[in-house]
Structure 1
Amino acid sequence: MTDFKTQLDLKKIPAVVGKAGRELLQRCYGVLEHTRWPLYIVGPSGSGKSIIAMNLARQYARQRQVPAYYVQLSPEQTKTSLILGLRLENGSLSVKNGVVADCMEKGGIIIVDEATHSVQEILLMFNSILDRTSVTAIGDKMIYAHEDFRIVFCANDSRYAGNVKLPQSFAQRLVSFYFDYPAADDELLIVDQIVAEECKALDVVPISAKRYIIELMREMRSNTYPLSVRNAAIAVVLCNLELLQRSGQSWLQSDSHFANAQNAERARRYIAKRILGTEPGSVLDLTDMRIVEFERFVSMIGVENFKAIILQSFMYYLDVDLGFYDLQMMKEKISSSII
């Protein structure tokens, strides 16, 4: 029998926030509700695919009163461990269900995450399950899926290091949905959600600072350097902890970076573009309260501390695999673009 740990705890699944995520959730659920077709949600790392899939599973499981399962693929898995196979028990071989076969029999829904972190041979084992007959077999035992059985795959696309391409016969059986990084406003909502869940301290980072961090992240993000809301959330939490340590200091003090008259206007124009979302049209735009608030925030923790937090949060100190791209050039770009 399947280990109960492979079942999703529906109460612990974070809600989908943001317009794009909710729209994708609705479109995917329409397919789950009205067909038996397998779903494949693909997109860049950190875009929120797994959360959407888990919300699909929760909604489906509650509506149909069926169990929901979750599994991550890896190259070490076999048909025996994952789907169905012969296992040694009390000195003899017997046929035992893996998590997929168990889900098929019970008419549940299963999330198969990190699909492209496996190998093609593992993906090909799903082919008969994804057919209209939806069957799997080992020896003389065959399991036909219950009509309520549903399967949802999640994966990064293969351009990211460590991901495999899909076999054609596997891909032909899927209904695919691409989920890109959400819009900036949605990413702000997601960052707030992550910070609220992960940081036990009161969040005192101003919205202007969060917007600045998110816009910086979006500028630095690329297919080869996939920064996500996780990185932005780390930066917000570290800034928050820094602020709390300095809570007795005055917000009115100004860092020398802003106090220097030669730097002030140039720095504020740089800040305004990220916080306001556009180039400042006049000097009045530079006195917008959001810009003033951000300047005070950075002054409170110090420009150099703020830069260090961004570098720490944006993987600057990690040897990230960029393929043929120059990692050092990417790091220099981030370092010179912070403020």
Structure 2
Amino acid sequence: MVKLPEFMTAIEISAPGGPDVLVAAQRPIPVPRAGEVLLKVAYAGVNRPDVIQRKGLYPAPPGASDLPGLEVSGTIVAVGEGMDASLLGSRQCALVSGGGYAEYCLARLDVCLSIPASMDLAEAAALPETLFTVWHNVFERGYAAPGETILIHGGTSGIGTMAIKLGRLFGLVTIVTCGSDEKCAAALKIGADHAINYNSADFVAAVKTITQGAGVHLVLDMVAGGYVARNLQCLREDGRHVTIAVQGGMTAEINMAFVMSRRLTLTGSTLRPRTAEFKALLAQEISANVWPLVCDGALRPEMDKIFPLAEAAAAHTYMESGAHIGKIMLAI
């Protein structure tokens, strides 16, 4: 095995608060246990859950690192007891439960994905969180099928751009909402079939116009709150509504008679607290169904801006500004 230093630089959350609470610190390099590998991190993704954790509203699950960062790419430099030493030196990206904002990060091998030679490490690190989230919620929980129409809120976010790209690859018609005409144009360029500026148009009316009154089969919602009742108005009979975030509020008032009469399904999920076994099964599904598209170049994440690890606070400020289109990354 590679001779490793004793300590690493990591970004800690010194106290709940704004971006300035993200501070560099020295930490012992973690040691992999059976089933785990240690990655020398090249890049880490910056995601909305990191921001919520920084604010003190989304604590790390039991046993996970308290450091932010849920997806990384890098090279395996150590493996747990009894594991194959031939893994050393291989390039991997991984979904992790925390610890990504650091020079080294533990990952379970069963949620690692081998990075094809044609893909750079920055793009690889931008995939796991959005890819796992969208695949599970759109195709597994939302039962999306070729030829169906999906309404995606936050069309130029990391999740939104991944949903557009997967929708296009798997035969969905995608309608997205964005906060400006410029972002709508960007979403169309990325591959959305239709884009609605929610600041200048009623998205419910726009969806009805686009679908000629039929409505969409599926809504991918990261707003919740007051959007839920409006989203339901966008669904056709037997439609499905999947909530993955509550940026607009945790409670919603809806007409249950409307849900019953149109046979609507409401569901949702969060990824980070799910069991290691669930994430391993999800990784297998992605490896079989999506990773071939990554390997042949058909699927690439939408990249926005890369910050040095030391500028994690600036990366969070940028994310909260809402100006980004696609993924924000940290270069380690």
Query: By the TM > 0.5 criterion, same fold?
Result: no
TM-score (norm 2): 0.29
Query: Whose Rg is larger?
Result: 1
